[in-house]
Amino acid sequence: MDYAPRPDDSLFLIDTVLGAPAQLAALPAFADSADAALMRQVLEEAGRFVGEVVAPLNRTGDEIGCRFDNGAVVSPPGFKEAYQAFWQAGWPALSAAVEDGGQGLPAVLDAVLYEWLSGANHGFTMAPGLLHGAYECLRHHGSEELKARYLSKIATGEWLATMALTEAHAGSDLGRVRTRATPQADGSVLLSGSKIFISGGEHDLTDNIVHLVLCRLPDAPEGPKGLSLVLAPKVLEDGTRNAIHCERIEEKMGLHGSPTCVLRFDEARGWLVGEAGKGLNAMFVMMNAARLHVALQGIGTLDAAWQKAHAYAQERQQMRVPGATGAEPSLIAEHPAIARILDTQRAWIDGGRLIAYRTGLQLDLARHAPEPKLRERAQRWCALVTPILKAACTQQGFEGASACLQVFGGHGYVREWGVEQHVRDVRVAMIYEGTNEIQAIDLLVRKVLPDGGAALSAVLLELRDELDASREADADAQRRLAQLRYLGTSVAMAAQANPRLPYEVADDFLRVTMLGLMAWAWARIEAHSGTDDARWQAPAAAFRRHVLPEFEMRLGLVKRAAEGVLGAHAQPPGAALARQ
Q: Which residues bind a second copy (CB under 8 A)?
A: 166, 170-173, 175-176, 196-197, 250-253, 260, 317-319, 321-323, 329, 335-338, 340, 398-399, 402, 405-406, 409-416, 420, 423-424, 427-428, 430-432, 435-437, 440-441, 499-500, 503-504, 506-507, 545-546, 549-550, 552-553, 556-557
Residue with Cβ nearer a second copy (31 or 553): 553
Residue with Cβ nearer a second copy (319 or 576): 319
Residue with Cβ nearer a second copy (225 or 241): 225
CA 279 to chain centre: 22
What is the C-alpha separation between 170 and 360, in angstroms, rounded? Answer: 31
Catalytic annotation present for 433: yes
Cβ neighbors of 54 (< 8 A, separation 6 or more) are 82, 86, 117, 120, 121, 124, 125
What is the C-alpha separation between 374 and 383, in angstroms, rounded? Answer: 14
Closest approach, Cβ 502 to a second copy, in A, equals 8
Strand partners, 170: 167
Residue with Cβ nearer a second copy (281 or 402): 402
Closest approach, Cβ 98 to a second copy, in A, equals 37
Strand partners, 264: 194, 245
Check residue 13 and report its DSSP letter.
I
Angular region, 452: left φ>0, alpha ψ -120 to 50, beta rest: left
Closest approach, Cβ 445 to a second copy, in A, equals 9
Closest approach, Cβ 259 to a second copy, in A, equals 12
What is the C-alpha separation between 244 and 233, in angstroms, rounded? Answer: 9
Residue with Cβ nearer a second copy (72 or 319): 319
Residue in 256, 222, 303 with CA at minimum distance from that of residue 66 = 256
Closest approach, Cβ 18 to a second copy, in A, equals 31
CB 14 within 8 A of CB 112: yes
Backbone angles phi, psi at 42, to 5 degrees: -60, -45
Backbone angles phi, psi at 316, to 5 degrees: -85, 130
CB 125 within 8 A of CB 118: yes
What is the C-alpha separation between 318 and 408, in angstroms, rounded? Answer: 11
Strand partners, 213: 164, 230
Closest approach, Cβ 560 to a second copy, in A, equals 9
Residue with Cβ nearer a second copy (283 or 459): 283
Closest approach, Cβ 352 to a second copy, in A, equals 19
Residue in 497, 507, 488 with CA at minimum distance from that of residue 578 = 488
Residue with Cβ nearer a second copy (339 or 458): 339
What is the C-alpha separation between 296 and 363, in angstroms, rounded? Answer: 15
Pairing of strands 72-74, 209-216: unpaired
Closest approach, Cβ 427 to a second copy, in A, equals 6
What is the C-alpha separation between 371 and 71, in angstroms, rounded? Answer: 51
Cβ neighbors of 381 (< 8 A, separation 6 or more) are 358, 359, 362, 459, 462
Residue with Cβ nearer a second copy (105 or 440): 440
Question: How long, in residues, is the chain?
Answer: 580
Active-site residue (options: 144, 433, 437, 550): 433
Strand partners, 74: 67
Instruction: Show the CA angle centred on residue 241, arms to residues 237 and 244, nearest 5°.
Output: 120
Closest approach, Cβ 316 to a second copy, in A, equals 8
Residue with Cβ nearer a second copy (533 or 550): 550
- For residue 325, the SS3 value is coil
What is the C-alpha separation between 429 and 295, in angstroms, rounded? Answer: 8
Closest approach, Cβ 45 to a second copy, in A, equals 34
Residue with Cβ nearer a second copy (174 or 282): 174
| Dihedral sign (CA 300, 418, 410, 535) | positive
Residue 30 has, within 13 A of its CA and on its CB side, a CA count of 28
Closest approach, Cβ 54 to a second copy, in A, equals 23
CA 343 vs CA 119, 405, 487: distances in Å? 18, 14, 30
Cβ neighbors of 563 (< 8 A, separation 6 or more) are 490, 494, 570
Pairing of strands 160-164, 209-216: parallel
CB 509 within 8 A of CB 561: no
Residue with Cβ nearer a second copy (36 or 321): 321
Catalytic residues: 433
